[in-house]
Amino acid sequence: MNLPLAIRRLLWALSVLYAGAMSLRASFYARGWIKQKRLQGSVISIGNLTVGGTGKTPMVIWLAERFLSEGKRVAVLSRGYRGQGNTSDEIELMKSRLQGRVVFGVGKDRYAEGKRLESGVDVFIMDDGFQHLALGRDLDIVLVDATRPLVREWVLPAGRLRESCSAINRADVVIFTRTEESVKALPVIPKVPRMTIYPAKMSLIGFREHRPEARVQGSCVEPVFAFAGIGNPDAFFANLKRWNVRVVGRRTFRDHHCYTNREIEGLSAAARRAGARALMTTEKDAQNIGSVVVPDLPLQIAVISMEIPDEERLMRDIRERLKMGSGVAA
């Protein structure tokens, strides 16, 4: 959300009211005036303070894979934002990557979904759960995009913040994502108070074509015409540049955009005019393209993963906090 300054100033009063309401709500949960519901098994919330992408889905996949490798039984609880039929692009992406090793509870009432799956689950990972205070959690992990400093953001509706910056003090762990794109952010990281801080980056696994059973390859057809309908498309384009992919054109769409045949045909035509030999998009966008086929140009997908340099310390920190069993009030 990048509204003109004049419009943001007009919306400032509404932002103050919204921030105040969110703060009051959090304080009610913190004081126990509104009771949280609890599930058996550990609950870890993955969330953020802003609308738009900070890497929550890759983080959920990363954490689920670490617990699975330890023999834990894992469930993912998600609202399924802008999805239909108990699924969404993000849910389908997680299912594709986790290959049936994790059970999913999808719906607005994360507690009800958790109760349905409760038997036999060791760890619940609540996707986009920082503001979902109705369900108690044992650990709050908050992601911050290092390329978009929070101090420059305004609260909704004037800006991208879901709550005021001070809400980050509810977190147990803060992970600064996309630090590979923002060297300037690294000196700022230790200044965040009262919680453990970790840097993270997005790593390229490889590329695959958008067709059934396509395998991930280490290289792609170039040059490409890139497009994305995600929370932070500029980060995707910056990654392509960092991965030395030659991009001759690009186009952005709204987050969670579902593509039509006509739009894919239009992208293909724009790619040919720009001299591209292939289209390039994200794994999340691939879930919103479905069975649309571009017969005369390859449609390639960049496959990525979260990389946390100090992952052993992070997992040790998580295990210790879960073993303590001290829940988070809000």
The answer, yes or no, to whether residue 324 has pLDDT greater than 60, is no
pLDDT attached to residue 149: 78
pLDDT at 262 over 60: yes
Average per-residue pLDDT in the chain?
Answer: 90
d(Cα 203, Cα 180) in Å, to the nearest integer?
9
Sheet holding 74-78, edge to edge: 103-106, 74-78, 123-127, 42-48, 139-145, 173-177, 196-199
> For the residues 16-42, what does the mean pLDDT come to?
96
pLDDT band at 70 (very low <50, low <70, confident <90, very high): very high
Phi/psi for 163 (5° steps) reads -145, 170
Percentage of the chain exceeding pLDDT 90: 76
Average pLDDT over residues 205-231: 94
- Check pLDDT > 70 for residue 186: no
Residues 6+ apart with CB under 8 A from 17: none
Pick from 30-44, 80-94, 130-144, 248-262: least confident = 80-94
Predicted local distance difference test score (pLDDT) of residue 316: 93
pLDDT (average), residues 50-70: 94
**Confidence class of residue 81 from pLDDT cuts 50, 70 and 90?**
confident
Q: What is the pLDDT of residues 280-320, one digit of tens each?
A: 999 999 999 977 666 689 999 999 999 999 999 999 999 99
pLDDT bracket for residue 270 (50, 70, 90): very high
| Number of Cα atoms under 13 Å in the Cβ half of residue 82 | 13
Residues 175/141, Cβ–Cβ less than 8 Å: yes
**pLDDT tens-digit readout, 88-137:** 899 999 999 999 999 999 999 999 999 999 998 999 999 999 999 999 99
- Domains in the chain: ranges and CATH: 5-200+308-324 (3.40.50.300), 203-304 (3.40.50)
Over range 27-55, report the average pLDDT. 95
pLDDT at 194 over 90: no
What is the reported pLDDT for 160? Answer: 92
Residue 33, CA distances (Å) to 19, 134, 186 in order: 19, 12, 38
Mean pLDDT on 259-274: 93
Element (H, E) at 48: strand 42-48
d(CA 123, CA 125): 6
pTM of the model: 0.91
Alpha helices in 172-250 (DSSP H): 233-242
pLDDT tops 90 at residue 151? no
- 325 — pLDDT class (breaks 50, 70, 90): very low
Coil vs helix vs strand at 24: helix
Residue 226, pLDDT above cutoff 90: yes
